[in-house]
């Protein structure tokens, strides 16, 4: 059997996540995922690392608002691959998006239900 016609492939994935709570309601978090591909042959046996990170800060009364900045694919190694096997051929298809991108947003937590104790006390009043 030729090495190019090998049909057994292996995909290994592992990762880690870290969260850090700092003073002044600042939070930093990061996650990293590594993907190792073996058995695809030649340049298709790859190692890819996807690293994301974010920082957020809560503010306003009772920390109702949060501003967050999230950075995606810091190492620029995001990729997608697919292998099709038929009787006569093996086809590998890969697409890469070597772009770092970010998202910044503000979240506000509304308290629409109120305090349950206050609701019950207003109902029980006799007028």
Number of CB atoms found within 10 A of residue 37's CB: 20
What's the CA gap between 65 and 107, in Å, rounded? 6
Report pLDDT digits (tens) over 29-66: 999 999 888 877 777 777 888 899 999 999 888 888 99
What's the CA gap between 92 and 82, in Å, rounded? 6
Report pLDDT digits (tens) over 66-120: 999 999 888 877 666 666 777 777 676 766 666 778 899 899 888 767 666 555 5
Burial of 3 (0-12, 13-18, 19+ CB in 10 A): exposed
Report pLDDT digits (tens) over 7-19: 687 889 999 999 9
- Looking at every residue in the chain, the average pLDDT score rounds to 79
Contacts of 20 (CB under 8 A, 6+ apart): 27, 28, 29
Give the pLDDT score at 15. 96
- The edge-to-edge listing of strands for the beta sheet with 10-22 is 10-22, 26-38, 47-59, 65-72, 101-108
Residue 83: in which H helix or E strand, if any? strand 79-85
């Amino acid at each position: 059997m030729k090495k190019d016609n090998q049909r057994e492939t292996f995909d290994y994935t592992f990762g880690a996540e870290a969260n850090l709570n700092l003073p002044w309601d600042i939070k930093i978090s990061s996650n990293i995922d590594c993907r190792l591909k073996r058995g695809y042959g030649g340049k298709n046996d790859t190692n890819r690392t996807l690293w994301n990170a974010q920082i957020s800060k809560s503010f306003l009364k009772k920390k109702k608002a949060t501003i967050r900045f999230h950075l995606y694919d810091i190492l620029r190694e995001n990729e997608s691959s697919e292998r099709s096997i038929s009787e006569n051929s093996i086809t590998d298809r890969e697409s890469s998006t070597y772009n770092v991108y970010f998202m910044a947003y503000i979240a506000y937590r509304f308290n629409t239900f109120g305090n349950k104790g206050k609701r019950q006390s207003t109902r029980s009043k006799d007028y």
